[in-house]
Amino acid sequence: MKYTEEHEWLRIEDDLVVVGITDHASAQLGDVVFVELPEAGTTVAKDEEIVVIESVKAASDILAPLDGTVVEVNDVLADNPGLVNEDPLGDGWFFKMKIEDLSVLDDLMDEAAYKDFIG
């Protein structure tokens, strides 16, 4: 897994990148009550708003971690947004995207660097 400074995780599955938020981010948000996901087929640019999360504490925007195209979204979150809290690194994923060059992930933090980052 790779991590961003915006508390997103990225995991490569075949030729796709799966994106979600970290345990740290889900804990900071509190109980998630709503998740608005992009539509499959949406082309996004890095740092573009792509997901909206509402929790009992606040509403937050999740930014696209990379340039690419959303090819699949986790529709289960529409009916069960709490999965983001219950299993943020597993069933609580947001979307899968296709990117041009997987080597751009090399510029992101690994788990040890992310743990240092959140202190």
Identify the bridge partners of residue 21 per DSSP, sorted by sequence position. 8
Domain 2-101 belongs in CATH node 2.70.150.10 = no
Contact between residue 12 and residue 102 where contact means Cβ atoms under 8 Å apart:
yes
1: pLDDT strictly greater than 90: yes
- pTM for the structure as a whole: 0.94
pLDDT of residue 58: 87
Convert the pLDDT of each residue in 65-80 to its tens digit. Answer: 999 999 999 999 999 9
Domain assignments of the chain as residue spans, ordered by start: 2-101
Convert the pLDDT of each residue in 19-56 to its tens digit. Answer: 999 999 999 999 999 999 999 999 999 999 999 999 99
22: helix, strand or coil: coil
